[in-house]
Structure 1
């Protein structure tokens, strides 16, 4: 091999090694430089497993289901208990079963922060209750009575709607709203009725005047529905 060819070979090897070293020595900042001028906006990775409930911690309505209520628990009790969560009576709905015994309450919170605050409050002073997450569909299914309806329990089997109307004499109510039905009881089925009133005041007046009064030969128990 001629000296000229040996020189060219050695020179090429040195250039290759130098080029590799220079490329490895290029700062990361310069190697990333072309990406800064990309016309395509980079999209953050989407995690489909992230719970949407956790994605908007500060805004948007959040729904919860409160367990541990009794038939004596009022919506005002819950609003007062969760003071600081910015709730109104319209943000609470009672969930009744078919016999109109309350099995829970649905609560609408103005934000995730308010829901978290309610969890802390219940943990401190409301240990009789348990607050669970719920969704909007559970809230929408419940129709609130808002204290404008009364449940009549113990209506005689042979009583007619006219008998119920006579029982409510002296009260302001919607006669067309009277709904009489049977529900399972401890021993025998119990005949009940719901009646709507024009206002909470009229419903409460009916409760005060007629609770434990008699329809035919049966004593009737009244309860204002929330």
Structure 2
């Protein structure tokens, strides 16, 4: 197109920006955006929205603000889709707190959240280890008579290896018991209805290991919780 002396249209730029955003090629997308502005192609709502998503995915809230200001100054009003895209960008990058801030801002600006808003925000908060807040939003959506899809239960597999490692948790290197090289150990991320399967390898040479699940129902595995050597086996 350029070789033939034709200038790409906003449709061409929008399609390219969208492809780069989906591939998380943010730096390349910013270069395309800058070139588009340089050659005088005027952004439309779609292009502005993609850029808002890109900056949100980078955690650059000040640039998201700048994009929205540029939209308004160009006579283009943000829509609920614009805010949903911003929240979705935060969700994909596990930035639940920032997504929650944008949720509040869209309400301050008199944009009513829809089902997609709540879905994206609940996903972001769940990824950011904020299950209680995610559940509160789920209840709020139900009160607003919004219908959220039922999340299908999943089987979540984890493999843990317990062994001795040297760590400097308090700025003093010493021998500790670690799980997959971490102390405290790794997180388990699940939701109500899921089945969690943990394969544990005990690499401690002289000690047994027992994992206490703090009352999580042991369906078919009653020996996996309780007091070691009494109601729980050790490995």
Same fold by TM-score greater than 0.5: no
So what's the TM-score if we normalise by structure 2? 0.25
Higher helix proportion: 2
Structure possessing the higher relative contact order (Cα contacts under 8 Å, 6 or more residues apart): 1
Higher strand proportion: 1
Which is greater in Rg?
Answer: 1
